[in-house]
Structure 1
Amino acid sequence: MISNEQIEQFIQQAHRVGDAGLTICSSGNISWRIGDEALVSGTGSWVPSLRKDQVSVCHVSTGEVLNGVRPSMESGFHLGIMRERPDVDVVLHFQSPYATAVACMKDMPADFNVTAEIPCHVGSEIPVIPYFRPGSPELAEHVKKALANHNSCLLRKHGQVVCGKGFDEVFERAMFFEMACRIIVLSGGSYEVLNQAEIEDLENYILNKKQ
């Protein structure tokens, strides 16, 4: 049973995403799994000013809408990711300025690991998905496939998707994704990335911190 407090928390997190400039107007969408159900921003809603009457409650396994509010047209990959990955409770599709500029580049960067935060939080490999119409089954399938074993992906001529366990993890992932793309754009393409040995050294450092 979804509580009013959980809906309010979801709305606060949506506004946080908007306040950070990760979405504008009706761009982007966000979801949160709570047990067998998920809250999803409604179709046509503005994430930065999401209201209670624009929050859709869906059954994760079937996609059935439980409260009469139509979910985002991208709910197919939101719920699909949750079905494929029990470790994921939050999915964010955003269109931040620099990351979206990169998504529209003719010459796509082959490597986004410009700082240590990228392999540590975003992912040392970020899948790039070809353009498909927003809301299409093809896009949903490609996003689900890409995030089956990654936490972030870039959608050509569209935007980005990140997922994770909680709101803070997903917000951090999106912000560092945008930071990396800002560095790439502002450098004019003249930038260095961490090499494989440096990335592996970071992985060992993180592992030792957890032990």
Structure 2
Amino acid sequence: MMGSISEETKVRDEMVEVGRSLFDRGLTAGSTGNISVRLSDGRILMTPTNASLGVLDPARLSCFSAEGVHVGGDKPTKEAFLHKCMYCGKDNRRAVGHLHSTYSVAVSLLKQVNERDVLPPLTAYYVMRIGFLPLVPYFPPGDEALAAAVGAAAANHHAVLMANHGPVVAGKSLKDAQYATEELEETAKLFLLLQNHEVRPLTAEQRTTLINLSK
């Protein structure tokens, strides 16, 4: 029992640390964005509604049972369903981050993108941390259709980009989800900087090799 308490305390503190880092570096603003971690017993800790990631209180984080019922902490974010959808993926997902980060959102607004894979494989690190990035069509926040669309994409992808909204990224740990989200943001920035320029993305063979290495 003590081990479980120790794990939860550590995770709560880490969520505060990661949230503050994301906020301080301008990757999220105001009360936008949310992060979550699934504990070893199946419960999920999540940032509450209307909470700034820069000033989280570890004792007030929302807590869900393994069955997805809110059982403790402050009222959860209305985007909690996005996290629950991402945890349903095939791989071992232990954390999820959702930000309204500027460059990623900007890419989600572009008309001429490949909806099955929004960003080209510009760098090795993007490929290893993200792989492929499908675009989920726009739905109003809280719409059940958005949950269905994200859930369908999340079945085979640990990162998705929601049109006119932002990215949702899952990882094997909170740091893993954080770093992948940051790599996505930097690649979105590169992509926008390179508009109207000919680029030399990685080949399909190079991409496959990198994805296999990152498994």
The TM-score with structure 2 as length reference comes to 0.86
Gaps of 5+ in 1: none
Deviation, structure 1 residue 160: 0.5
Change beyond 3 A, Cα 1:138–1:60: farther
Please tell me the residue identity of whatever aligns with 1:30: I
Deviation, structure 1 residue 54: 4.1
Number of the residue aligned with 2:202: 194
Change beyond 3 A, Cα 1:193–1:104: same
3-state secondary structure, aligned to 1:146? helix
Across the aligned residues of Structure 1 and Structure 2, the Cα RMSD in angstroms comes to: 2.1
Alpha-carbon distance in structure 2 between the residues aligned to 1:201 and 1:83 = 26
1:154 equivalent to 2:165? Answer: no
Please tell me the residue identity of whatever aligns with 1:199: R
Please tell me the residue identity of whatever aligns with 1:108: V
Please tell me the residue identity of whatever aligns with 1:165: K
Change beyond 3 A, Cα 1:36–1:97: same
- Give the alignment partner of residue 50 of structure 2, picking from 36, 41, 44: 44
Please tell me the residue identity of whatever aligns with 2:121: N
Change beyond 3 A, Cα 1:143–1:189: farther
Measured against aligned partners, the alpha-carbon deviations of 1:25-62 in whole angstroms (never above 9, x if no partner) come to 1111111111221111111111222223541011132x
- Give the alignment partner of residue 91 of structure 1, picking from 96, 101, 122: 96
3-state secondary structure, aligned to 1:66? strand
Please tell me the residue identity of whatever aligns with 1:11: V
The TM-score with structure 1 as length reference comes to 0.87
8 A contact 2:11–2:37 mirrored in 1 = no
- Give the alignment partner of residue 127 of structure 2, picking from 110, 119, 137: 119
Number of the residue aligned with 2:146: 139
8 A contact 1:111–1:193 mirrored in 2 = no
8 A contact 2:101–2:185 mirrored in 1 = yes
Deviation, structure 1 residue 149: 1.2
3-state secondary structure, aligned to 2:62? strand
3-state secondary structure, aligned to 2:64? strand
- Give the alignment partner of residue 23 of structure 2, picking from 18, 22, 38: 18
Deviation, structure 1 residue 152: 0.9
- Give the alignment partner of residue 106 of structure 2, picking from 101, 105, 113: 101
Change beyond 3 A, Cα 1:54–1:24: farther
Please tell me the residue identity of whatever aligns with 1:181: A
Identity, in percent, stands at 27
1:60 equivalent to 2:66? Answer: yes
Alpha-carbon distance in structure 2 between the residues aligned to 1:83 and 1:150 = 11
Change beyond 3 A, Cα 1:169–1:52: closer
8 A contact 2:136–2:162 mirrored in 1 = yes
Change beyond 3 A, Cα 1:157–1:189: farther
Alpha-carbon distance in structure 2 between the residues aligned to 1:143 and 1:9 = 26
Alpha-carbon distance in structure 2 between the residues aligned to 1:149 and 1:203 = 14
Alpha-carbon distance in structure 2 between the residues aligned to 1:112 and 1:80 = 25
